[in-house]
Structure 1
């Protein structure tokens, strides 16, 4: 019906177009020879001069919304906001998602708990061993969990809460961190660099004690904690040559957990003295930020959320329960 009603209008346009075509004229250019051609021997010469195009190419990926690096300043004040128990658990490693869900590694019941930052249990899955460390790859919906007694690294789908495959590690494994497409796993006196398919890429030798925690710092330097060493200077290891770098002249004691931030600072947890300390990269100082007076009275794990506005520390209150302390950071 629409086409039928428009038929007359279309016919008018056709007639108008025909009239328009009939009124058009062409203007060809004709060359008319001049007498000057008989006396001129050359019109000149042609030279080629290369100049760069003033064209700026913007890659497709750069046209997408870029990730906003959220940490803007160094957290130096920590105030206890809340705490909650994880009954029947011995929580070691802590993983935190962007929406502040906590993934807690329970050594007692071999479970991976998922809880809110207020203490509500959201999910739980039993691992194929007793978990220790955890590394989050939220973009791929995957958590990587170490099982020291197996010894293996096991993947977990953090959306479906389904266990994945087991990746065999050359030796006992505790701390874990992700480095691009590879995994750093802490063993006894060694840090293993393996692919996500399980291929051993490199072995870095450190002091002959268990590497309980690993964190990736600036320039892919690996900060690591060995809780069985009573006194040691704070250090990290370079990936390219495997050499230790001492970053502080002050000694630490029984460091069970270490976390490096995007600004080059390092946070450590001394479990026997129950101290939480900060190494500030700007003035190379090592400061005690939290002690037993702030609620610390044990061990093991610590983690920050994405924007470093919350700090989570797990402590063992007794043989049957763990407690998660939640601090606000300023």
Structure 2
């Protein structure tokens, strides 16, 4: 499965399956897009780059040292051989056997240490090649890779760097600089020419690992939203008919609004969640809109056409249309699945190309709205008078009685926020459906609220208000 999340409690990158199996109780699980934000400016990026450079420098120095030792031993052998021959010239009649013995011993010593040094050179070359390959791949990802790819690669390099450091420490501790000297026999006896001595000293190149700093400052525990403060109302275009049905936010912080007014069926786009940018016109009224996470695509339901329409959120142009075979209303999207609900209580699961994979027949009322909880891998469904939690295989987790039908959204901890169109308030419910509290009401200018969503960093809440005609912006208050 895709690595989609970063658990700050365990400092580990994980997938959706790991979240549900091993991190269900963790309070600080971030989407990978949020964890990898500004990764090129992070301490992780700088530490890995510095450590790679340090490793390459040390490995090159070690290789040069080993090569220099080989050359010095070769020169030593040549010098000693000349000494032996000088002695030989004094004792021509008695030196043949002694010369062969000493020369053989010298060659044996030479071969023994040469084999050790060459073995170490092979180990050095192997580590050096691996580090250079990782450095080249890092350079490529810096220029061409996505934030997710770079972040995942950096995390992998922590292990690779530790492994390289351990290998270098082993090589350094096992490396010795060998030398051979010849002691000429001074007493004139012909028992031998002299003796050969080995001198061993530690390698002059030493490796001191740089203290590995944790790449990314460990994220602080996620704080709970304790309340909201009215900020402003979104400035809308004048002289247009508005009947807002849905609001969603893209990964690059653009707000998308569907306008189902019969005379003006459009999707409005606001950059930075505040300034009007453009609009897309449809032949029939769009109802719901869902952004496909980690992509530049969104998908919209067109109930009168029994179809869904894909949108490119970078160019803000319409893409292909897919007929889903029923009057589709609610829609939600995960990274690899799209969930569409209809007026008869049916939910269809599609892939991100619009191909139907599975149909769930729940016999519910009209499924007006669906939200996908990626951490729990379940759907929050809003019908008239009901709020339901359903697993993606169709199993009902729980059902709650609520007032009328209105919007639903999730905060960072996956608490559920739902509107009361008839009660003029917005409530928050825990992810298990056990605890519920009122967060906004008439005192906060909430009147006939419908759909809502948070911005990309969960600092603001956008609420379609006043019977589908305006958009109120509320600042989130944290502890």
Give yes or no for TM over 0.5. yes
Q: In the alignment, which of 396, 401, 415 is matched to residue 265 of structure 1?
A: 415
1:80 aligned residue: 230
- 2:295 corresponding residue in structure 1: 140
Which residue number corresponds to residue 153 of structure 2? 63
Shift of 1:118: 6.7
1:183 aligns with 2:330: no
Q: 2:403, 2:436 → 1: CA distance? A: 13
Confirm whether residue 96 of structure 1 aligns to residue 175 of structure 2: no
1:205 and 2:361 equivalent?
A: yes
User: Greater strand share, 1 or 2?
Assistant: 1
Residue 263 of structure 1 and its aligned partner are, at CA, apart by 2.1
Q: d(CA) in 2 for partners of 1:309 and 1:164?
A: 31
Give the distance between the partners of 2:376 and 2:273, measured in 1 at CA.
35
Answer yes or no: is 1:111 the counterpart of 2:266: yes
Deviation for aligned residue 1:247? 6.2
The within-5 A match list for 1:1-330 is: 23=75, 25=77, 27-29=106-108, 62-64=152-154, 72-86=222-236, 87-108=240-261, 109-116=264-271, 119-137=274-292, 139-188=294-343, 189-217=345-373, 218-226=375-383, 229-230=384-385, 232=386, 234-240=387-393, 242-246=394-398, 251-281=401-431, 284-316=434-466, 322-330=469-477
How many Å apart are 1:306 and its aligned residue?
2.0
Distance (Å, rounded) in 2 between the aligned partners of 1:132 and 1:258: 15
Deviation, 1:285, is: 1.4
* 8 Å CA contact 1:223, 1:260 repeated in 2: no
CA distance in 1 between partners of 2:220 and 2:305 (Å): 37
Name structure 1 gaps, 5 residues minimum: 1-18, 31-57
How far is the alpha carbon of 1:125 from its aligned partner?
1.2
Larger Rg: 2
SS of the residue corresponding to residue 191 of structure 1 reads strand
Mapped to 2, the partners of 1:118 and 1:156 lie a distance apart of 18
Matched residue SS, 1:28: helix
Quote how far apart the aligned CAs of 1:246 are. Answer: 1.4
C-alpha root-mean-square deviation of aligned residues, in Å?
Answer: 3.1
Measured in 2, the distance between the counterparts of 1:78 and 1:148 equals 34
The 3 A distance-change label for structure 1 pair 210 and 60 is same
What is the TM-score with the length of structure 2 in the denominator?
A: 0.52
Larger RCO (alpha carbons 8 Å, 6+ apart): 1
Pick closer, same or farther for the CA change 1:74–1:190 going to 2, 3 Å: farther
**TM-superposed deviation, 1:85:** 4.8
SS in 1 for 2:269: strand
- Secondary structure of 2:107 counterpart: coil
Q: Distance in 2 between matches of 1:325 and 1:20?
A: 80
| Cα displacement (A) at 1:72 | 1.4
Distance 1:162 1:191 in 2: 27
8 Å Cα contact 1:212/1:225 also seen in 2: yes
Q: Distance in 1 between matches of 2:220 and 2:241?
A: 35
Task: Return the alpha-carbon distance in structure 2 between the equivalents of residues 142 and 70 of structure 1.
Answer: 31
- Taking the aligned partners of 1:293 and 1:308, their CA distance within structure 2 comes to 22
Can you give the 5+ residue segments of structure 2 that lack an aligned partner in the other structure?
A: 1-70, 79-105, 110-133, 135-148, 156-214
Distance 1:138 1:282 in 2: 24
**3-state DSSP class of the match of 2:152?**
helix
In structure 1, C-alpha distance between the alignment counterparts of 2:310 and 2:152, rounded to whole Å: 31
Cα deviation, residue 24, structure 1: 5.2
Alpha-carbon distance change, 182 to 70 in structure 1, aligned in 2, over 3 angstroms? farther
Distance 1:295-1:303 versus aligned 2 partners, 3 A rule = same
How many angstroms does 1:266 deviate by? 0.8
Scaled by the length of structure 1, the TM-score of the pair is 0.74
Which segment drifts farther, 280-289 or 307-316? 280-289
Contact 2:250 2:313 in 1 (8 A): no
Alpha-carbon distance between aligned partners in 2 of 1:328 and 1:213, rounded to the nearest angstrom: 24
Deviations 1:37-80 (A, max 9, x none): xxxxxxxxxxxxxxxxxxxxx99873347999899122130111
